[in-house]
Structures are given as structure tokens and as C-alpha cells.
Amino acid sequence: MATTQPAYNSAENSVATAPSTDRFTDRLWAETKVLRESIDSLEFLRRLGDGTLPLDAFRTYIEQDKLYLEGYSKALSLVAAHAPDPQAAGFWSNSASTAATVESALHDGLLTGGILPPGSQRLEHSQACLGYVSYLTATAATAPYPVSAAAVLPCFWIYAEVGRDLAASAREVLDTDPSHPYAQWVTTYDAPEFHESVAQARVLVDAAAEAATETEREAMSEAFRIASRYELMFWDSALHQQPWPAS
């Protein structure tokens, strides 16, 4: 659930000029420490990294991530529409385009390439996926720009941080089983482009916080926290599914 795009090169807002201390995004990261530790300990992520995740659970994850990216790209487009300057708008817009095209194409390749077992039913959002994309879309459409930017940040940041450990574990799996059905794909989680995107997104959220009111900054913290909760629920639901009530 991460997006990549060209570097954000605004002279006034570049990564190089980001404050090195007392960053608002550092505060957001600290406030969600317990949540992130819970994410790190998920059985789904452990088994995804060590190659023991059942293939049907991996397919469920890819299916849900495809649906998520469709909604996430819409939320990012809404954030771009409310951005305060062309550079910020360009970053969020490029991220939306990447989620809608490049990453979705990678998911389609996995789902139709014959590596994973076939899907057994009509594809629909899980409870966690629908809740997550609905929250992001509603926030991006109705909340002030600083709040919506904070809401979409966890998908960039948590994904990239989790990806480091996953990629390292997957490389160990490939050393012993080069034909593992999804370990090669997992190694892409640590792509440098992901981490560049995180740095760029953080700069924008820090800048938004600096221009925001205290009430908006409190709302930013809450939005980041809620989205982080959904990150946990999204990953966990691929292995521990919660079926919808019978229709």
C-alpha cells in the first residue's frame, strides 16, 4: 500500500530543508508507538516475510490491496485538489496516478499469472478495507488539507518501515527456495523509491502542520492515529478474515 513518484524538488519545501528536530511528523510517529509495535508483531506480516503465509491468504491480501489502491488513489487526488501550492499538488497527484496504474498493474499480474490459487468468489471489499478507504476518502473530501494529508501519511510511512524487515526476510527465503511463489515480490517492499516518497510526504505534512491552527493539528494527530489503526486491521484481516453478515 505504498506509492512512488518523482522527487519533490521545491526549493522552499525540499527534503534537504526539512527541520531536523521537533518535527510534527516525529510527534505523530511517537504518539502511535504502541499501534506500530502491534503491527510489527502481526502473524500475517511474520509469515509473509518468512514465506510460510498460505497462498490463499496471500491472494486475499493482494485482492484487498488492489481494491484499497483504487480507493486510496481517489483520496490522494482529493488531497492534491486541496493542496496549498503546485508542488504539493503535484506530489499527491503523482502518488494517486502511481497507485491507480503502476501498482494496480503489479497486483493484476500476481492475480492472473497462475502463481496464486484462483479466486473462489466475487471480489468485494473486506470490512477493514472498506472502512479504511471510506475513512480516507471522506476525510480527504471534507477535512482541511492539513488533516487529509496527515490521514494519508501512514500508508506511505508504515508500509515502508514494515517493508524493510519483510524484504530482508524474503531474501533469506529466496536463498533457500529461489522459486518461492511470492518471496521475490515481497523483496520489492524495500525499494528506495518507497522511502523517498515517505521523506517527501513527511515534508509536506510538516509544512501543513506549521501553517495549521492548533485545532487542526489536534485533528491531524487523530487522523494519523485512525489511519494507523486501519493499517493494522487491513493486514491482519488477510489472515484472520471477518466475513460480512449473510445477505
Residue with cell 466475487: 122
As a whole-number percent, the residues of the chain with pLDDT over 70 amount to 89
* 3-state SS class at 6: coil
Stretch 173-196: mean pLDDT:
88
Distance CA 189, CA 102 (A): 14
Q: What is the pLDDT of residues 117-174, one digit of tens each?
A: 787 677 899 999 999 999 999 999 999 999 999 999 999 999 999 999 899 999 999 9
Distance CA 117, CA 137 (A): 31
* 3-state SS class at 19: coil
Q: What is the pLDDT of residues 98-120, one digit of tens each?
A: 887 767 677 777 877 777 878 76
Specify the higher pLDDT residue, 176 or 191: 176
